[in-house]
Amino acid sequence: MRSLIRLFIFTLLFLGVSQSIQANSFVTKSEPTKKRANILLIVADDLGFGDIGAHGSEISTPNIDALAANGSRFSNFYTQASCSPTRSMLLSGVDNHRNGMGTMAEDLLPHHKNLPGYRGYLNHEVVTVASLLQDAGYHTYMTGKWHLGYADNQSAHARGFEHTFSLVDGGGNHFNDQGMNANKPKSTYRRDGKIVSRPEGYSSDLFTKEMKMLIDKRKMDDKPFFAYLSFTAPHFPLQAPKKTIEKYKGRYDSGWQVIREQRFRKMKEMGIIPSNAILAKISPELTKWSSLSKEEQKNEAKKMAVYSAMIDNLDMNIGVILQYLKEIGEYENTVIIFMSDNGPDPYDRSERKAYQGLVSKYNYDMSYENMGASNSYSFLGPNWSQTSNVNQQGYKFLPTQGGIHNPVIMRFPGMLEKGKVMTEFSSILDITPTLLELAGTTHSGKHYKGRIVHPLSGRSMLPYVSGKAKQVYAEDEAVSFELFGHASVFMGEWKAVKMRPPQGDDHWALYHIKTDLSETNDLSDKHPKTLQLLTQAYAKYKLDNGVLTEPDGVTAYPTKPHYVKYKH
């Protein structure tokens, strides 16, 4: 009898607790009844605006092109001018001076010491999109380049990614764990936060294989996933599978200007740029192909063949991951974003001691025949970088179009019109807010799990993407950027740019960017009031975000003559 009474009491208690848990879950959990979309975010490294077939390139990129045909190309989207600042803004939605990446870790100088915005890693005063999506019931996966912190508590796994396989550094050998230079001759890899040995495989192949393995782990449930596939191609060193390099043998024997003009014509035909756009003259600091010796031309053509092979292989791996999503029945329910983190890298570092030291340490074979192999090391250089950017001025590290105006393709099933070119301004700061709205969750604004955090700097593009809004920003709203002392500010159809020496004269230039994508016609004298509006907006941005005024004569990068290998 007593046993029956105890069993009865226990049953009542259990039912009460169970109902209480269910009630509390119902109150706190905000699961939409409709299945939420998966998110696949793909980032290429130092890929130029004109380097994909969907933007007029001769490089074979059928999978990226198919994404563009089934989604939309964003022709007015901007990033930061270099790797880690862009990625910090991409994953937080917060300006790089607030999130700790006012400059890259590799370029911290004595005057940056103790400044909160210049720590060289993604600080804990921001919350990542991965953390917020994980809180909202998403699986979160990351493979590839991290470049946002070296310490344990700065790893991708510590910043909201449930499972990871990450390259901690900004780059490295594409075939093994050898580093970028003699200052760090061996790259560091982490799996779920723990330092591990690098498996065999070419970088893009490896990161894609690892991502498939991570997504495959979710078979135990039907939760949506956020997958961040962060390639290191086509970042230097120029290395690619030999068979893919062979595809491009002889393709670039005509030289950089011929290829540049071919791409430009194709871009016009595709509607990526206006039909009346003008191809700016080749920069006087660059080299005429005809001035090179036959041996120099042969060497340069091989460089571009290897670079193209890197992009070709990257595209192939995008095809692999998309086919995998189709096989597991998740492709149609996955939002896909493809982008480059910044423009092409023009610097030939072969004369720097740090790179010569690496070549010596590993006994690299720098011959023409071996170019592109795992034991070779070469750079794209400024001349092919101009071809990569086609009609745009400048490159990576600069706020000119060639540094921050990069290819972006988005596929939002049921929203974006297939094949459309989206022409309204948006930026890297807007990705996190967009993904949060898509997932049906929000950023707290000021607090996250007991710590004070910065609110979002960007805004959701979803109203624009879904057709409910005609633009992301109003015509009188300004968006500003700064890196290495160079500045840019956008407002409506206008862009103002200021670059410090040696790249500029530290004075503002004004461009009607809608009609002058090449930034060839400075209108600062003709529209002084417009320029004043933009520079006042920038002054406020600088004050609000703790942007440092870089001292004269101090720069992290070489002056122009140091990276021009050939002369007229």
Q: How many residues does the chain have?
A: 568
- How far apart are the two ends of the chain, measured CA to CA in Å? 104
Mind giving me the DSSP string for 452-476? E-PPPSS---HHHHTTS-S-SS-TT
pLDDT of residue 558: 53
Residue at 438 is within a domain: yes
Instruction: List the single range of 80-94, 158-172, 551-565 with lowest mean pLDDT.
Output: 551-565
pTM of the model: 0.92
**3-state DSSP percent of the chain in helix, strand and coil, to 5:** 35, 15, 50
Catalytic annotation, pick one of 55, 97, 139, 147: 147
Q: How confident is the model at residue 368 (pLDDT cuts 50, 70, 90)?
A: very high
Res. 502 pLDDT band, cuts 50 70 90: confident
Q: Under a CB-based contact definition with an 8 Å cutoff, are residues 373 and 422 in contact?
A: no
Taking phi over 0 as left and psi of -120 to 50 as alpha, with beta for the rest, 553 belongs to left
Q: Which of 27-36, 88-97, 461-470, 546-555 has the lowest mean pLDDT?
A: 27-36
pLDDT confidence of 19, banded at 50, 70, 90?
Answer: very low
Q: Is residue 271 one of the residues assigned to a domain? A: yes
**What DSSP designation does 457 have?**
S
Q: Please report whether residue 78 resides in a domain.
A: yes
Cα dihedral 257/260/265/270 (nearest 10) = 180
Residue 147 among the catalytic residues: yes
Task: Show the domain range for 416.
Answer: 38-469
* Phi, psi (degrees; rounded to nearest 5) at 489: -145, 135
Other CB atoms within 10 A of residue 258 CB: 13
Residue with tokens 């910043």: 159
- Mean pLDDT in residue range 82-109: 96
Answer yes or no: are the C-beta atoms of 261 and 281 closer than 8 Å. no
Average pLDDT of span 459-464? 96
454 in Cβ contact with 98 (< 8 Å): yes
Residue 484 lies in a domain: no
Determine, yes or no, domain membership for 57.
yes
| Residue 417 DSSP label | P
Task: Examine the residue annotation and report whether 163 is marked as an active-site residue of this protein.
Answer: no
| 512 φ/ψ angles, rounded to the nearest 5 degrees | -85, 90
Catalytic: which of 55, 83, 97, 454?
Answer: 83
With a CB cutoff of 8 Å and minimum separation 6, the contacts of 511 are 494, 495, 496, 497, 519, 521, 522, 523
**Does the residue 547 lie in any domain?**
no
Dist CA 400 CA 344 (whole Å)? 12
- Interior CA angle at 137 toward 413 and 85, to 5°? 75
Total domain count for the chain?
Answer: 1
Q: Report the CATH number that the domain containing residue 373 is assigned in CATH.
A: 3.40.720.10
Q: Is residue 75 part of a domain?
A: yes
In a domain, 477, yes or no: no
